[in-house]
């Protein structure tokens, strides 16, 4: 389901079912849309349960329609070989004011994934995750990583390294009450890596309690944490006052 350039969408009480290993079978992909409510949704397939988008490279920043004011709640990943909720990597029009709460992403490879690269313009800000259950993630449970996404081959060849006029700034990401399902273990807690030109800012973590090795990867990120056993090893994150 791919609502594009829409305003005032409600998607409620749906199941999306595809074969477990089927590629490119995203569940719901709000794209360049505003005032979106997605709730009571179950997914089984081979890709992202939810992937929020706003255009790929030149098309996104020329069209310039952000995805904003999105509420996602009560979503269950029956099975996914990708993320429970992905933001990007097609996000050049910008992302703002997105909340994801009361979701079960136990059966996903990556739990909460913000993915972008130096080729993306736009911005990502005011993203809030609350009351999320994780499981046996084969990659990190919490990811904000700038190493995902290639250039759009349909865009004009850029001058210099970047296709986008301004590398994507990422700010104000909150995680509250992120826990593991009983009997599960995540491979890694955190994978945060910003850009040399754009440090990830405003990370706020409160109550992340996951089973498994407390491994973290943190580079070019700033923020605070409380009640998060692995966060002390994450360079750039400081205890909340």
Active-site hit among 26, 29, 31, 47: 47
- Given a contact cutoff of 8 angstroms between Cβ atoms, the answer to whether 135 and 110 are in contact is no
Q: Against a cut of 0.85, is the pTM above it?
A: yes
Q: Count up the domains in the chain and report the number.
A: 1
Q: Does residue 88 sit within a domain?
A: yes
pLDDT digits (tens, 9 = 90+) for 87-108: 999 999 999 999 999 999 999 9
Burial category of 125 from C-beta neighbours within 10 Å (exposed 0-12, middle 13-18, buried 19 and up)? middle
CATH number for the domain that contains residue 220: 2.160.20.10
Taking alpha carbons only, the member of 113, 110, 111, 114 closest to residue 94 is 114
pLDDT digits (tens, 9 = 90+) for 125-173: 999 999 999 999 999 999 999 998 778 888 887 655 555 556 679 999 9
Q: Does residue 17 sit within a domain?
A: yes
Specify the pLDDT at position 58. Answer: 85
Q: Which ranges of the chain does DSSP label H, i.e. alpha helix? A: 58-63
Q: Does residue 1 sit within a domain?
A: no
Mean pLDDT is lowest, of 102-111, 119-128, 194-203, for 119-128
Domain containing 14 equals: 7-153+161-239
DSSP-derived letter for residue 116 is -
Q: Does residue 137 sit within a domain?
A: yes
Q: Does residue 2 sit within a domain?
A: no
Q: Average pLDDT for residues 6-26, to the nearest whole number?
A: 96
Does residue 47 have an active-site annotation? yes
Q: Does residue 167 sit within a domain?
A: yes
Q: Does residue 19 sit within a domain?
A: yes
Q: Does residue 116 sit within a domain?
A: yes
Q: Is the dihedral of CA 206, 210, 214, 220 positive or negative?
A: negative
């Amino acid at each position: 389901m791919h609502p594009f350039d829409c305003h005032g969408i409600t998607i409620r009480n749906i199941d999306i079912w595809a074969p477990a290993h089927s590629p490119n079978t995203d569940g719901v992909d709000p794209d360049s849309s505003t005032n979106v409510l997605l709730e009571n949704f179950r997914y089984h397939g081979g890709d992202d349960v939810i992937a929020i988008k706003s255009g790929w490279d030149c098309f996104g920043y020329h069209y310039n329609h952000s995805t904003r004011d999105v509420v996602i709640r009560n979503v269950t990943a029956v099975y996914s070989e990708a993320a429970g909720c992905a933001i990007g990597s097609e996000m050049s029009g910008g992302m703002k004011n997105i909340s994801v709460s009361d979701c079960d992403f136990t059966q996903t490879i990556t739990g909460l994934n913000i993915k972008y690269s130096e080729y993306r313009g736009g911005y990502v800000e005011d993203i809030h995750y609350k009351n999320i259950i994780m499981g046996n993630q084969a990659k990190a449970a919490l990811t904000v990583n700038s190493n995902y996404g290639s250039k759009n081959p349909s865009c004009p060849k850029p001058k210099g390294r970047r296709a986008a006029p301004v590398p994507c700034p990422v700010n104000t990401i909150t995680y509250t009450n992120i826990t593991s399902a009983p009997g599960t273990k995540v491979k890694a807690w955190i994978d945060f890596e910003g850009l040399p030109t754009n440090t990830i800012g405003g990370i706020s973590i409160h109550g992340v309690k996951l089973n498994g090795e407390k491994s973290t990867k943190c580079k070019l990120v700033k923020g605070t944490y409380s009640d998060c056993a692995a966060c002390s090893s994450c360079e750039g994150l400081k205890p909340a006052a």
